């Protein structure tokens, strides 16, 4: 899980992915767009053994990312 101060849009062009935002899962496939608002905790992963290919676009010129580990540690990239 991670978040950043800018919004992010994923466009899926191959495979299927599971995109999680604030605890809600969205399954997306080729041609789908998934939008993450600024400052929302989110993550993504392939759906099963399928390959997931997507492109991400941010609505800012630079991105500060804060990541949360499975142990609850938070650090900035």
**Which residues neighbour 71 within 8 Å (Cβ) at sequence distance 6 or greater?**
none
**Which letter does DSSP use for residue 62 in this model?**
S
Looking only at the bridges linking them, the beta strands covering 65-68 and 74-76 are: antiparallel
Looking only at the bridges linking them, the beta strands covering 2-4 and 33-36 are: unpaired
Evaluate if residue 77 carries a pLDDT over 60. no
pTM of the model: 0.81
User: So what's the pLDDT on residue 15?
Assistant: 96
Give the 3-state secondary structure of residue 12: strand
Q: Are 20 and 10 in contact (CB under 8 A)?
A: no
Domain range 2-76, CATH class: mainly beta
User: Rounded to whole angstroms, how far apart are CA atoms 22 and 68?
Assistant: 13
| Confidence band of 59 (pLDDT split at 50, 70, 90) | confident
């Amino acid at each position: 899980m991670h978040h950043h101060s800018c919004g992010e849009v994923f466009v899926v062009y191959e495979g299927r992915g599971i995109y999680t935002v604030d605890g809600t899962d969205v399954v997306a496939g080729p041609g789908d767009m998934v939008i993450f608002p600024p400052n929302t905790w989110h993550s993504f992963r392939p759906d099963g053994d399928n390959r997931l290919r997507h492109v991400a676009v941010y609505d800012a010129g630079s991105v500060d990312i804060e990541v949360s580990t499975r142990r609850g540690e938070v650090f900035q990239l």
